[in-house]
Amino acid sequence: MNNKVIIEVNNYIKRFIDKCIQNNINISNVKYLSNDKLTCLISFKDYKDLVKLNYQSHIKIIKYEGLNGLKKHLKENIYYYLLILLCFIYMDIITSYIIKIDIIHENKQIRNLINNELKENDITPYSLSKSFNELEKIKENIIKNNPNKIEWLSITRNGMKYIINVEERKINNLKEDNTPQNIIATKDAQITKIISNRGEVLVRSGDLVKKGDILISGNIYLYDEIKGLTKAEGIVYGNVWYETNIKIPKEKEITKNTGRERYNLNINNKILLKNKYKLFKQDNIKELKILFFKIKIYKEIEYTKYNYKLSNKDIEIELNNSLKKAFNDKLKDRGKIINQKVLKKTENNSTIEYRIFVITNEIISTNSKIEIGDANDTTKSS
């Protein structure tokens, strides 16, 4: 862009014109204000040279054109524009809050259920609004968590309010499944607890059972003869034995905040302030859309990394945590570790390997359908 300025010349204007002609300096839009004063348009580059050549004249810029004009305008009005920007940001932040939630349903229990689910997903009065994708995900999770109670759900934002429409699922009388079945052992174990709702219990606490053994029978006996079948129901707990291998590193990488932080802006994917910290994470990100600008406000938090040599106590904690995680994944809330013992410990350069004997108490029972006519024994075994 060819940057130009409008200048005002006082005194010796004839000499000013001659100097322009002699030095091939182009001027335009010349306006004589008096016999000894004029204004004209000139390039900013030529203006600097002209001031040196016409030292007898008084020359001053009265208006900038082009990029320099824009820069000067922005410089003179920067606080005004910043104030406008801050007002937009403030309004956007204010309107991003939800101050009221209306749950539309005649059943109070359903309203309370939805209200509790919303709280678990951080949707409460005077909280920040969620994006459309977040609301869709929350809606799907609520329906998924309550398949027998919620048929349909919508979350609509109206200004600073959420309107929740919900349809209760009406379950017709389902036909009860009375398929005959036994309760059998899923693994070798020592019985610790039996909860039986239906059927004949064939084991006692302390008994050793093998995988596939019948624990609660669906056979109905009369004088040691099978007279019918029923659907055995119940849960059986037992102690189960495992051996597992766990590897623990001798050193652990630690990240620690230095306490240094600052706020930064990203405008249309361009960072306002250059990276100050070598290692940092972004926190409290807020996204705004103002006219043609996409603005992200975030905090840069500096941190450092270093390797920490684990003490014997640290290694013991890491071992217990790793063991607990491994069995939580394995048991899936169906049991817990009740005892553990290290059988072998092997130290390498960077790791320690453990072979561990573990005893768990867990649910060891499952349902097994009885095929009518498949049973060979018609009498009860003693």
User: To which residue do tokens 């001027």 refer?
Assistant: 27
SS3 of residue 76 by DSSP: helix
DSSP conformational letter for 231 = B
> Which helix (H) or strand (E) covers residue 323, if one does?
helix 312-331
| pLDDT single digits (tens) 127-170 | 878 888 888 889 888 888 888 888 888 888 888 888 999 888 87
Q: Would you state the structure tokens that stand for residue 124, as one six-digit string?
A: 């409460």
Q: Is the pLDDT of residue 374 over 70?
A: no
Residue 69 is predicted with a pLDDT of 64
Residue 292 is predicted with a pLDDT of 64
Residue 203 is predicted with a pLDDT of 92
Asked: is 4-75 a CATH 3.30.70 domain? The reply is: yes
SS3 of residue 143 by DSSP: helix
- Provide the mean pLDDT of the chain: 84
Residue 377 is predicted with a pLDDT of 47
Q: Is the pLDDT of residue 45 over 90?
A: no
User: To which residue do tokens 């003179």 refer?
Assistant: 76
* Burial readout 173-211 (b: 16 or more C-beta within 10 A, e: otherwise): eeeeeeebbbbbbbbebbbbebeeeebbebbeeeeebee
Which has more confidence, 354 or 61? Answer: 354
Q: What is the mean pLDDT of the segment spanning 54-60?
A: 82
Which has more confidence, 127 or 358? Answer: 358
Q: Is the pLDDT of residue 264 over 60?
A: yes
Residue 372 is predicted with a pLDDT of 66
Please count the other Cβ atoms lying within 10 Å of the Cβ belonging to residue 167.
Answer: 12
Q: Is the pLDDT of residue 381 over 50?
A: no
DSSP conformational letter for 373 = T
Residue 322 is predicted with a pLDDT of 92
Q: Which of 35-39, 97-101, 126-130, 281-285 has the highest mean pLDDT?
A: 35-39
Give the CA dihedral 45, 46, 50, 53, nearest 10 degrees.
Answer: 100
* CA–CA distance, 293 with 81 (Å, rounded to integer): 14
Instruction: Return phi, psi of residue 67, to 5°.
Output: -65, -40
| pLDDT single digits (tens) 173-217 | 556 678 899 999 999 999 999 999 888 899 999 999 999 999 999
* CA–CA distance, 141 with 162 (Å, rounded to integer): 17
Residues in the chain: 382
- Chain centroid to CA 368: 42
DSSP conformational letter for 333 = T
> Predicted confidence band at 358 (pLDDT cuts at 50, 70, 90)?
very high
| pLDDT single digits (tens) 210-240 | 999 999 998 887 777 777 888 889 999 999 9
Cβ contacts of 183 within 8 Å, gap of 6 or more: 199, 214, 215, 216, 232, 233, 234, 236, 365, 366, 367, 368
Prediction pTM value: 0.48
Class of domain 97-168: alpha beta
User: To which residue do tokens 């990488």 refer?
Assistant: 253
Backbone conformation region of residue 264, classed left if phi is above 0, alpha if psi is from -120 to 50, else beta: beta
Q: Is the pLDDT of residue 72 over 80?
A: no
Backbone conformation region of residue 25, classed left if phi is above 0, alpha if psi is from -120 to 50, else beta: beta
Measure Cα distances from 230 to 75, 176, 342 in Å: 88, 13, 45
> Which helix (H) or strand (E) covers residue 58, if one does?
strand 58-64
Closest CA to 117 of 98, 97, 144: 144
Whether 4-75 shares its CATH topology with 97-168 is answered: no
Which has more confidence, 64 or 28? Answer: 28
- Chain centroid to CA 325: 22
* CA–CA distance, 27 with 208 (Å, rounded to integer): 108
* CA–CA distance, 164 with 115 (Å, rounded to integer): 10
Residue 376 is predicted with a pLDDT of 45
Domain range summary for the chain, segments of one domain joined by +: 4-75, 97-168, 175-250+310-382, 253-307
Q: Is the pLDDT of residue 347 over 80?
A: yes
* CA–CA distance, 44 with 60 (Å, rounded to integer): 12
Amino acid symbol at 286: K
Residue 213 is predicted with a pLDDT of 93
Asked whether the beta carbons of 304 and 256 are under 8 A apart, the reply is yes
Q: Which residues pair with 267 in a beta bridge?
A: 270, 295
Q: Would you state the structure tokens that stand for residue 224, as one six-digit string?
A: 């040691």
Residue 171 is predicted with a pLDDT of 64
